[in-house]
Structure 1
Amino acid sequence: MEERKVQLFEGKRIRTVWKEDEQEWYLSVVDVVEALTGTDDPRRYWSDLKRRLKAEGGQPYEKIVQLKLLADDGKMRLTDVVDAEHTLLIIQQIRSQKTEQFKQWLAQFSKRDISDNQIVKKEAFTHENGRNIRIRLNSDFDEMISIIDRARENTFRMVNRELINLYWNIGMYVSNKVKNGEWGKSVVKEFSEHIQVKRPEIKGFSPQNIWRMKQLYETYKDNEKLSSLLRELSWTLNTKILGCKTDEEREFYMQLAISNNYSSRELERQVESHMFERTLISGEINKPLVSKNTGLTIFRDGYVLDFLDLPERHSEKDIRKAIVANMRDFILELGTDFTFVGEEYRIRVGNTDFYIDLLFYNRRLSCLVAVELKITDFKPEHMGQLEFYLEALDRKVKKPDENPSVGLIICAGKDEAVVEYSLSRSMSPALVAAYQLCLPDKSLLENRLRELRDLRGLEEQDGDDIG
């Protein structure tokens, strides 16, 4: 029996086949090549690599088989595939900065112990001494590439730090001139034009940018901690944060961007969706649950799924398919360290197959995360279903060194009292969150946060009075 599924690695489609008789997953090699290299012609890339592997002889070339997979034209066509073990051997021949991430994804997806030691022990391509030397050399070369990459990253950080220092000093100079009444808008405009005339090759000194430099200096000049943090971010990222109202909010987005290595688009998305307020609200609402399981702090009380572009009337299948199609944006909204494992993940209990809507793995928690989607308001029976899935995952899928699986129900709405009752006696680590399909209003979130904090303060005061 064969089961075909499309898996996602960092938003890239990888067609796979589960062969029941072998208890083994097979992956489309051309899809793996495209995911790792980003090449516009993955078939040509694979053809050249395949020819080289054939010339070298031995594994993994001998392990390449052809199975029928759904092609872009909608037809089932024979496609080169290899099992997970030999996929690992092939990717060692592909130069990509995503190799380590792919290994981790493959390890979770295929549930194998994947390491460089395993590769060497398998004597990947042949038992001949000359070939083993080639493997060791490739490992040495990859190590040197890593050293080069780290040096380039350090150089970029150094250059960026100096650039931010320059903008800071210009901002300080302009701020003092304006404060003393010596400069105004017209002078700043003349200053910008003067730079363009004298040094036309220098970019980034438009009047608008110069005013931003002034704003940068004035915003952070009295905050030593943030004035240090801002030098870890690019100028573009800093401009996304400048509009925040408080130092607390600015620090939140700075730390978020640094720890997650956000692009400009990703940070802009988090700011526009008011991640700061939503995270604080979740912290207040989920505080009782988090006190029992600190790992649940990575989850939020609600998720904004505006990027799914769904109509008001939609089915659970619609939302699931839309999430899979927009997995990169969904993981950005979901949080850090999540790796997508599968859609409608099949798990057999007794003689019955059950399907988990979405299954992830979280590296920070070292556990599987089952996500169930509901287009209705939360109901107590939803928790029973989720607990069943978590028990099945822990018994049948979880590795001995992994933590118990965690569950998340994302539903259209929820009554906090019903959720609290449903979770009060639950032994499973689980949370319930509501989703919305449009960006929230910042002022409404601020009011909600204020109400929750006031309520929490009253509860703590009552507790002190009783004591």
Structure 2
Amino acid sequence: MAILRSRYEAAALANKELLKLYFGIGQYVSFHSRNKNWGNGAINSISNLLQQELHGVRGFSATNIKNMRLFYEGWEFMQPFLIDEKEPLFQFSEEELYQQLPSAELKNTNRQLSTDELDGSFVIRQLPTDELQNEFFGLFLKNGFTHHITILNNTENIEERMFYIQKTAMEFWNTTTLKHHLKSNLYQRQGKLAHNFQSTLSERHFKEKAIMAFKDEMLLDFINIEDADEEPNERVLEQAIVQNIKKFIMALGAEYSFIGNQHRLIIEDEEYFIDLLFFNRQIQSLVAIELKKGKFKAEYVGKMNLYLSALDEMVKQPHENPSIGIILCKEKNNKIVEFAFRDTSKPMGVVTYKTYNDLPEAYKNILPNTEMLKGLL
């Protein structure tokens, strides 16, 4: 354990220093390129010079230098944490740079840049409190540069970026998982689940965690029905999910463990089967998922209520929280869901899903079709 801890700490320190270096380079490149001190070819020339001087060192292509600029401009308010104003981490020599860059790629080369001018060109925004700043900075440093660039290229505002930074760091997303959640608009859908948790869960922290543990809609782009007009029935949908359980858990969210499909319950000598049963470690609850084709119907609630009562009495461990039920269907009417849940005693929610066939044409072309997959196999 000591060896693993030491290696992890070394990797975390290396990542921190790399982010600080890239942020410093990004600040410098942003100032000169945005203020028109450089021509269009300056970044390419800098890349070539760096690669000549640092032979064999990767990460300084023109594209990556532009990503460093994006990194700085996207997280400009993090400057007090990442750059020591008394001892700058990274600084080009103006005279050396101007001597090496072709004159056509420089503008206003005779103008000296003052410290006041440089400092005055940036707006430093602060997070509300020191505690929040330090907490976010810790999560910020746990993300690799590729994660940062992926987030910056696919988000529109600072709140959304902070959301993905926190989720990626806390749930250890790799870039594939991060791209999946960005593509499925997790930020917009998080916490918007149609549910009855407010009336059925009494413990406030558990209630808040439960609301954030589920999405309003799931993207099941691994399910491709050959007939685009045909909607898969429950059994076909279940088989496709079980065959792609890793992808389904990725779509479902973090901290889920798959217990099984067609989970058998015996109540007074009668058998009942839950389509999919999971355990969520974060909320410490069993999660029963019922698969339904078409629109949500009010009668689905009664059966789910039965399943949850049986799970709480016969399966749930004493230290675990109450079981939660999710009805996964193609469509829902929120008013019907509200009325159906109004007098129920068990926590449950309704989630809709989209399959490959529901994706816009532009997204479909990104994925291989059935014939292409057959050919590859």
1:304 and 1:436 in contact (8 A); partners too: yes
Could you state the TM-score of these two structures normalised by the residue count of structure 1?
0.60
Q: How does 1:33-182 map to 2 (within 5 A)?
A: 146-182=1-37
How far apart are the structure 2 equivalents of 1:349 and 1:292?
23
**Which one of 45, 69, 81 corresponds to residue 214 of structure 1?**
69
1:165 and 1:231 in contact (8 A); partners too: no
1:347 CA drift (Å): 1.3
Distance verdict in 2 for CA 1:323–1:194, change over 3 Å: same
Cα deviation, 1:69-113, whole Å, max 9, x if unaligned, reads xxxxxxxxxxxxxxxxxxxxxxxxxxxxxxxxxxxxxxxxxxxxx
| Larger relative helix fraction | 1
Q: How does 1:345-356 map to 2 (within 5 A)?
A: 345-356=263-274
Cα deviation, 1:40-59, whole Å, max 9, x if unaligned, reads xxxxxxxxxxxxxxxxxxxx
Which residue of the partner structure matches residue 158 of structure 2? 247
How far apart are the structure 2 equivalents of 1:180 and 1:330?
47
Q: How does 1:198-213 map to 2 (within 5 A)?
A: 198-213=53-68
| Larger relative strand fraction | 1
1:369 CA drift (Å): 0.9
1:230 CA drift (Å): 3.4
1:376 aligns with 2:294: yes
- Relative contact order higher in (CA < 8 Å, ≥ 6 apart): 2
1:304 aligns with 2:219: yes
**2:163 aligns to what SS in structure 1?**
helix
1:375 CA drift (Å): 0.9
Could you state the TM-score of these two structures normalised by the residue count of structure 2?
0.73
Alignment RMSD (CA, Å)? 2.0
Which residue of the partner structure matches residue 334 of structure 1? 252
Question: Partner amino acid for 1:345?
Answer: H
1:236 CA drift (Å): 0.7
**1:242 aligns to what SS in structure 2?**
helix
Q: How many residues align?
A: 293
Cα deviation, 1:423-458, whole Å, max 9, x if unaligned, reads 0000001111111115778xxxxxxxxxxxxxxxxx
2:30 and 2:69 in contact (8 A); partners too: yes
Unmatched tracts of structure 1, length 5 or more:
1-145, 442-467
How far apart are the structure 2 equivalents of 1:292 and 1:258?
31
Which residue of the partner structure matches residue 260 of structure 1? 171
**1:435 aligns to what SS in structure 2?**
strand
2:139 and 2:170 in contact (8 A); partners too: no
Distance verdict in 2 for CA 1:157–1:440, change over 3 Å: farther
1:321 aligns with 2:243: no
Identity of aligned residues (%): 32
2:29 and 2:69 in contact (8 A); partners too: yes
How far apart are the structure 2 equivalents of 1:157 and 1:237?
14
How far apart are the structure 1 equivalents of 2:279 and 2:264?
15
**2:292 aligns to what SS in structure 1?**
strand
1:231 CA drift (Å): 2.6
Question: After TM superposition, which residue ranges in structure 1, 4 or more long, deviate above 4 angstroms?
Answer: 223-229, 438-441
2:184 and 2:218 in contact (8 A); partners too: no
How far apart are the structure 1 equivalents of 2:33 and 2:163?
30
Q: How does 1:279-294 map to 2 (within 5 A)?
A: 279=190, 282=192, 286=195, 289-290=197-198, 292-293=200-201, 294=207
2:16 and 2:141 in contact (8 A); partners too: yes
Which residue of the partner structure matches residue 373 of structure 2? none
1:335 CA drift (Å): 1.9
1:309 CA drift (Å): 2.8
**1:376 aligns to what SS in structure 2?**
coil
**1:377 aligns to what SS in structure 2?**
coil
2:26 and 2:65 in contact (8 A); partners too: yes
1:389 aligns with 2:307: yes
Distance verdict in 2 for CA 1:277–1:163, change over 3 Å: same
Q: How does 1:431-450 map to 2 (within 5 A)?
A: 431-438=349-356
Q: How does 1:421-440 map to 2 (within 5 A)?
A: 421-438=339-356
1:391 CA drift (Å): 1.4
1:238 CA drift (Å): 0.6
